[in-house]
Amino acid sequence: MTRPIDEDDELLQRSFRQSPCAMAVFDTSLRLRRANAGMERAVGRSEGRLLGLRMSEILPGPPGKDGDAALRRVLAEMQPPFEAEVAVMKITVAALMTTPWIARNLHEIPPETDLMLIPGLCEGDAGILIDRFGVKAEKGPKDLREIPRYFGQAQAALSYGSYSIEILAEINNAPKLSPTQFRAAADYFRASGADLIDIGCTPGLPFPELDHAVRELRDAGMRVSVDSFDPAEIRTAVEAGAELVLSVNRSNLEVARELAGTNTRVVVIPDFGEGLDTLDRNIESLERWNVRYLIDPVIEPIGFGFMASLERYAAVHRRYPASAQLMGVGRRLRSRTDGGAEALGQLPHPGDPPRAPQPSSDPDRLPPCARDVHRSPFRRLPPLIRRSETTRPVRSTSGHPAPEIEAGTISLAGKSCPKH
């Protein structure tokens, strides 16, 4: 049912603007005229980009549409010597289908069908489909790109397309490492796939070798970033060849002005203890100075505002869709449970002697989440980085008290979606 909207009804207009639910106004030709903030959040587009669109152009298509297109593309490129027809089922993940479910929900198949091929990850006996439809039924490959090879042809291209994500690996507390340890960590991270080696400075601890450290890695063909809020350390690293600075906010923003017009980028974060609104002010300054930047809305630990911090990344992407973001995904918490630090599976630095886990309590007395980690094989992974002797408190922007946490050792930088 439709009815005209009273543009003069202030209560209705206020409810429309302030409602957390997605709401929109369409004209008689079913084209969008207005959208509230909830609608913008729901579809990830601003009202200006939605104006004039029909609902079918705003909302995603029916379940299975994307998989249907991918499968049809593989079949078209394959050019099989038989006629193939794709049946789209009402389920979003094809691999979650079972043969009994297919038998109930696939009502008919084309006449003269001689083979029914279902995804290889489907559970259940294919004989159920043979009994139901009276034709041969088989489980195909697990990956639809392998269908050509299943029928004796060359496999389809394995690449999912280009992407713009870069991996940054931090050498934590670099001033405390010997030259040999420092270089070993850098070589290890590069060999492990890091795109940038981040030199993590230690607050309050002088690092006279910073210039040499940056130049050494640059001479070895590595891309380098520096993790420091100290303007002097930032200047030293940039002059030696660092291409990225972590991080800037109101406390040290002026040093970024010196990078105007260069290829050096900075990572801009919210002001300490403040929200995303401070990002807008800092970004405005960087853009006015012509300084290149990435945005880090700051990820929070699980249990201390993790989901809210993920929402901040989505909100920042909506505000700055053309800007790359950085996410510190390698942070490691120091446990405040009975399990102690070992229960969280800290990883040693290259060259450290093996050490047996020494939990401070019986694992069965730990909370289930900590108990699962304690018993996991995580500690047997290849060594990545030394647990630092000291930790620095991180301000929580979620309103929850933040635990002690070390600087992120692995970060991802790039657009929020891969480019195809």
Residue 83 and residue 208 share a domain: no
- What's the pLDDT at 392? 33
Residue 246 and residue 229 share a domain: yes
Instruction: Quote the CA–CA distance of 85 and 337 in Å, as a whole number.
Output: 57
Using DSSP's 3-state secondary structure scheme, residue 400 falls into: coil
E strand or H helix at 77:
helix 65-78
3-state secondary structure 222-250: CEEEEECCCHHHHHHHHHHCCCEEEEECC
Inside any domain, residue 286: yes
What lies within 8 Å, CB to CB, of 79 at 6+ separation is none
Instruction: Quote the CA–CA distance of 18 and 193 in Å, as a whole number.
Output: 46
- What's the pLDDT at 152? 86
- What's the pLDDT at 246? 92
User: What residues in the chain have per-residue pLDDT under 70?
Assistant: 1-9, 44, 56, 59-67, 155-163, 330-420
Residue 180 and residue 220 share a domain: yes
* Per-residue pLDDT reduced to its tens digit, 298-311: 888 777 788 888 88
- What's the pLDDT at 19? 80
What lies within 8 Å, CB to CB, of 369 at 6+ separation is none
* Side chain identity at residue 263, one-letter code: N
Residue 137 and residue 222 share a domain: no
292 DSSP β-pair partners: 265
Inside any domain, residue 363: no
Residue 398 and residue 290 share a domain: yes
What lies within 8 Å, CB to CB, of 12 at 6+ separation is 5, 6
* Per-residue pLDDT reduced to its tens digit, 38-74: 787 777 677 887 888 877 677 655 444 556 778 888 8
State which of 150, 185, 219 marks the end of a domain: 150
Instruction: Quote the CA–CA distance of 205 and 67 in Å, as a whole number.
Output: 54
Cβ(250)–Cβ(282) below 8 Å: yes
Instruction: Quote the CA–CA distance of 75 and 70 in Å, as a whole number.
Output: 9
- What's the pLDDT at 252? 93
- What's the pLDDT at 40? 79
- What's the pLDDT at 71? 84
Using DSSP's 3-state secondary structure scheme, residue 278 falls into: helix
Could you tell me the two tokens for 252? 């040290």
Instruction: Tell me how long the chain is.
Output: 420
Inside any domain, residue 102: yes
Whole-Å CA distances, 240 to 178, 213, 217, 223, 244: 20, 9, 10, 12, 12
Q: How many domains does the chain fold into?
A: 3
Instruction: Quote the CA–CA distance of 131 and 124 in Å, as a whole number.
Output: 13
Whole-Å CA distances, 147 to 64, 141, 152, 153: 18, 6, 9, 8
Inside any domain, residue 256: yes
Inside any domain, residue 282: yes
Residue 266 and residue 127 share a domain: no
Pairing of strands 244-248, 404-405: unpaired
Using DSSP's 3-state secondary structure scheme, residue 227 falls into: strand
Residue 116 and residue 202 share a domain: no
What are the backbone angles phi and psi of residue 137, rounded to the nearest 5°?
-130, 135
Instruction: Quote the CA–CA distance of 13 and 341 in Å, as a whole number.
Output: 53
Residue 142 and residue 191 share a domain: no
Residue 210 and residue 323 share a domain: yes
Residue 190 and residue 142 share a domain: no
State which of 86, 118, 150 marks the end of a domain: 150
Q: At what angle do helices 179-191 and 210-219 cross, to 10 degrees?
A: 40
CATH label of the domain that carries residue 246: 3.20.20.20
Residue 230 and residue 113 share a domain: no
Whole-Å CA distances, 318 to 51, 165, 214, 415: 17, 18, 35, 12
Question: Dihedral (C-alpha) 364, 365, 368, 373: value to the nearest 10 degrees?
Answer: -70
State which of 150, 182, 209 marks the end of a domain: 150
Inside any domain, residue 198: yes
Spell out a b/e string for 55-65, using b for 16 or more CB atoms within 10 Å of the CB, else e.
Answer: eeebeeeeebe
Range(s) of the domain holding residue 308: 166-332+387-414
* Per-residue pLDDT reduced to its tens digit, 86-102: 888 887 777 778 999 99
Inside any domain, residue 42: yes
- Quickly count: other Cβ atoms within 10 Å of residue 167's Cβ: 17
Inside any domain, residue 193: yes
Residue 262 and residue 171 share a domain: yes
Instruction: Quote the CA–CA distance of 142 and 158 in Å, as a whole number.
Output: 13
